[in-house]
A and B are shown apart, each in its own frame.
Chain A
């Protein structure tokens, strides 16, 4: 596709379950970011991948959060043992470099 895609678009899960969120970047984009946006809040940086470099994980809120990017393309954000405060929209953005970030449609996560 022409843009960044994310799946699922919506996810409802029970507290304590693990979830996986997927991001398919625009082909050729080496930079990939995950952000979280809680209701009424700004975008919160989670993790950044750039090419084959070690990812910048400085924004991950706890060790329950992890992400990987296979082959420099698709990325998966995993949240283990979900908590209600994890409920948010999770946005993926990719770009040829940091300034130009194209955002995906996001995954709305609701933890009951």
Chain B
């Protein structure tokens, strides 16, 4: 069974700090790893990673995948209060066609 574990479960930092969120996974025939941001009900897509060592970047957010060690990290620099959300990691295997989600990291940014 595919499995995704995220850490930490929650994180509280001050505005301006840099944070690193972790995602480790076990999946049969890895296909891709995705990061989502969930503020209220619907998650919004952040990144899709398929290759090791290639950083994806969008503004203050960046992510990288290590397929050998089976993990990914999501970095947020110069955090703002609007970054407060639950960040979800999900993996897709070639055997299954459904995303398996982790339980998320709840990030709170204190002004």
CA distance A56 to B99 in the complex (A): 12
Count residues on chain A whose CB falls below 8 Å from chain B CBs: 24
Instruction: Please tell me if A108 contacts chain B, counting CB pairs below 8 Å.
Output: yes
User: A98-B92, A99-B32, A99-B34 given as contacts; is B101 within 8 A of A43 (CB)?
Assistant: yes
Chain A residues, CB < 8 A from B100: 45
Q: Is the CB of A59 within 8 A of B98?
A: yes
Chain A residues, CB < 8 A from B44: 103
| Interface residues in A26-80 (C-beta closer than 8 Å to B) | 33, 35, 41-45, 48, 50, 56, 58-59
Q: How many A-B residue pairs have CB under 8 A?
A: 54
Q: How far is the CB of B39 from chain A (nearest CB, A)?
A: 11
Q: Is the CB of B41 within 8 A of A56?
A: no
B6-22 to A contact mask, C-beta < 8 Å, 1/0: 00000000000000000
CA distance A89 to B39 in the complex (A): 13
Q: How far is the CB of B8 from chain A (nearest CB, A)?
A: 14
User: A43-B43, A89-B41, A104-B42 given as contacts; is B48 within 8 A of A33 (CB)?
Assistant: no
Q: Is the CB of A101 within 8 A of B99?
A: yes
Q: Is the CB of B88 within 8 A of A42?
A: yes
- List 13 A–B pairs whose Cβ atoms lie within 8 Å, in order of A's numbering: A33-B98, A41-B103, A42-B88, A42-B101, A43-B99, A43-B101, A45-B100, A89-B41, A100-B48, A101-B45, A101-B99, A102-B45, A108-B41
Q: Which 8 pairs, one residue from A and one from B, show the smallest C-beta to C-beta distance?
A: A106-B41, A42-B103, A103-B42, A43-B101, A42-B101, A45-B98, A105-B42, A99-B32
